[in-house]
Amino acid sequence: MPLPSYLLRRGAIYYWRRRLPRAGGDDRKAHHLVLSLATSILARARLLAAHLNVVAEEVFRNAAMMNAQQLNDVFRNVLQTHVSKLDRVVAAESAAADFDWRDSVRIDEHWHWVYRLLGMRGSNTEVDENAAALMRTAEYSEEDIFAVALLLQQLRRQKMVPTPSAKLQALLAAVGADPTDANIGAAQQVYFRALSEASAINAQRQRDGRPEDQARAKAILMQEAARVMERPADDGSPTAPASAPQNSLAQTQVVVSTPALRPSAVEDHPVWRAGEKLIAHNKKNNIWRDKGQKQAGQTYRMLVLLLLERKVYLIEALQQADFSAYRDLLGELAKSYGKSEKDHTRTLDKLRDIGKSKPPHLCGLKAGTVNRHMSALATLVGSMRDRGLPVKPDIDPGRLRVKKAERNRVLTQPANLERINIMMHLPPLTGCASAEKPFVSGEHAFHCANYFVPLLMHYVGGRREELCGFRVAEIILDAPIPYFELVPNAYRSLKTLASDRALPIHPEILRLNFEAYVKAIEDLGYDLLFPELRWGNSTMPLGDRFYKNFKNGLTLIRNANVDGKNDEEDEARSAKKNRIVQPFKFRQIRKAFGARLKKKGVHSEERADLMGHTGSNVNEEVYADPTELQRMLELMQKIPNVTSHLEPRSVNLLPWVRDKLAPPDARGRERRKHLKGS
């Protein structure tokens, strides 16, 4: 058996042999270290050599490795040198008659991306699809991406990538570091990153001016004011400087200070403007849907309110502590933050007061919500960096994400079947007093969202917004298996790409005269399946409108006794066990739908197709077809029947839907306007 490369044998004795790290420019003749292992037994020699390999690896790695200070010094030296060089280049070019500063900025931004890619991915990087996607997130056009690729090729033709070894060795010598292979590699990456930042700074200076000039001018004026105050009297007699009042320096500062840069409103803050550009870009490229855009806007607005409170008015003044303070603010808010539309226009003091008014277990956002906020802020910071804005390198909101205390599985409990039975026995389904009093028992049944949406939630398992936003054209009744065509429409978007799907209509829903209801709505010329959920110019999400209409029903369900207890008693008892227990809510019905299918042995891939979830791996997501309608219908029929007590009734529409009037809870002004015009 041949010996390993680190062992050799001389006579009967084994030796350990290891190549020494190469230092650039050294002229030593010995390149290997050889030690006798003082044994003739191969097994022992292997064991000793293995120990020596570990020790040597540690010694060689630390012997001449640059420390953090030396790396910082290399970065600073390259940055300062290149910024000064670019300053001189721009000054010379600007004297030309055909100079266009926009072209100059564009070229600097291209160089910024060239060196950024080299610093991120090494000297062998190319402008591949991943790099192009990264540049597109920074609002780069295909023409810009092509220009970056050409500049990278130009550097290679000129043999500037990788950087010549002599230049890197000179950088190392300037900071007192040995020119080892490891140090040269580290210096190469730092060199590229410094060039990238220098190009970004030069572009920003040409586009937005030089913020440092303001501080420099202020310092010069302060020095001049101090010099004037110490000037001798006009008669030439030697006099001591006049003794000024203790606050005279402050008064001088007021005289020479430049106008305040404080934004007058949230919309004037540069961070808000950067957030607006990010939202617009992600909307244009279909990266964020309506909900994502809205949530991001709310997050950025609250961040800017906090920055104004902390007197942070410029992007370059941002600190990591500002984002830490934002996370602390989330701990002061009520858990219900965001459920009211008014929350998005309230001041921070008002939001804090609402949080203080809540009991401790209802104050402070959940870990998942906090992490969503931190992710949105991390995206904003990354976008500002990509656009060349002066964000400090140590700012990273992603570091402030918190660890979840419990699994997502236990954060939402599946609805108890008894509670669902109570919902199916509420007056809107069994008979109510009138259309205006849907939760008072009576003899009338009105076919509307209050009647059908609870059935759809239980038997179909869709999200509330999905079910409330169906168009009449999306109900396919003349197919062999009637089905819902769930696609984005003008009334609501879909949560994920996987939400776009077809779902069979459960036989129990058809039994309760759903087909006749659809035709009645279509005959009246409505486009929306549940037209009472949208009136006039309202922009309220349809699911939220249904929630408000059904709110009294939720109260009845929560207050109903099941096994001698209600939801409030459940919550009080479970709080002693330190468990999160929620009162009944619509989301629990969807959770119960998935949980019951799992208990019935339905495969996770089929459950995902039914519920609009993305597959968990490439086999489920790419190399598979959607579950067929017939199979979906078989799976839906595994859900318990909780409506056998309901009898089909002739279609009876809400009076205001039938007469195309505003609903009773519409704003009085809108209702009167419609009545006058009819």
pLDDT digits (tens, 9 = 90+) for 114-125: 999 998 888 888
SS3 call for 565 = strand
Q: Within this chain, do residues 525 and 650 fall inside the same structural domain, yes or no? A: yes
CA-to-CA distance for 127 and 135, rounded, in angstroms?
10
On whether residue 270 sits in a domain, the answer given is yes
Q: Within this chain, do residues 42 and 163 fall inside the same structural domain, yes or no? A: no
Residue ranges of the chain with pLDDT lower than 50? Answer: 24-25, 229, 231-260, 568-578, 669, 671, 674-678
Of 63, 82, 110, the domain-final residue = 63
Give the residues across from 34 on adjacent strands: 17
On whether residue 501 sits in a domain, the answer given is yes
- Average pLDDT over the chain, rounded to whole? 82
Q: Within this chain, do residues 488 and 557 fall inside the same structural domain, yes or no? A: yes
Q: Within this chain, do residues 357 and 464 fall inside the same structural domain, yes or no? A: no
- Is there a contact between 614 and 608 (Cβ–Cβ < 8 Å)? yes
Q: Within this chain, do residues 47 and 143 fall inside the same structural domain, yes or no? A: no
What type of residue sits at position 219? A
- DSSP letter at 18 equals E
On whether residue 78 sits in a domain, the answer given is yes
Residue of 428, 530, 538, 519 whose CA lies nearest to 477: 519
- pLDDT at 562 (0 to 100): 67
- DSSP letter at 585 equals -
Q: Within this chain, do residues 178 and 197 fall inside the same structural domain, yes or no? A: yes
Instruction: Return the half-sphere exposure (C-beta side, CA atoms, 13 A cut-off) of residue 281.
Output: 19
- Is there a contact between 522 and 472 (Cβ–Cβ < 8 Å)? yes
- pLDDT at 549 (0 to 100): 92
On whether residue 18 sits in a domain, the answer given is yes
Q: Within this chain, do residues 329 and 478 fall inside the same structural domain, yes or no? A: no
What's the total number of domains in the chain? Answer: 4
Q: Within this chain, do residues 58 and 113 fall inside the same structural domain, yes or no? A: no
CA-to-CA distance for 342 and 335, rounded, in angstroms?
15
Q: Within this chain, do residues 461 and 395 fall inside the same structural domain, yes or no? A: no
- pLDDT at 677 (0 to 100): 47
**In which domain, by residue range, is 663 found?**
417-670
- pLDDT at 135 (0 to 100): 87
- Is there a contact between 110 and 147 (Cβ–Cβ < 8 Å)? yes
Q: Within this chain, do residues 198 and 310 fall inside the same structural domain, yes or no? A: no
On whether residue 224 sits in a domain, the answer given is no
- pLDDT at 122 (0 to 100): 87
* Geometric angle at alpha carbon 182, from 179 and 188, rounded to 5°: 80
Q: Within this chain, do residues 436 and 569 fall inside the same structural domain, yes or no? A: yes
On whether residue 239 sits in a domain, the answer given is no
On whether residue 379 sits in a domain, the answer given is yes
- pLDDT at 620 (0 to 100): 67
Give the C-alpha distances (Å, rounded to integers) separating 316 from 258, 283, 320, 326. Answer: 18, 27, 12, 18
Structure pTM?
0.54
Q: Within this chain, do residues 293 and 334 fall inside the same structural domain, yes or no? A: yes
On whether residue 331 sits in a domain, the answer given is yes
Cite the DSSP H helix spans in 209-234.
211-229
Of 182, 210, 238, the domain-final residue = 210
Of 195, 210, 225, the domain-final residue = 210
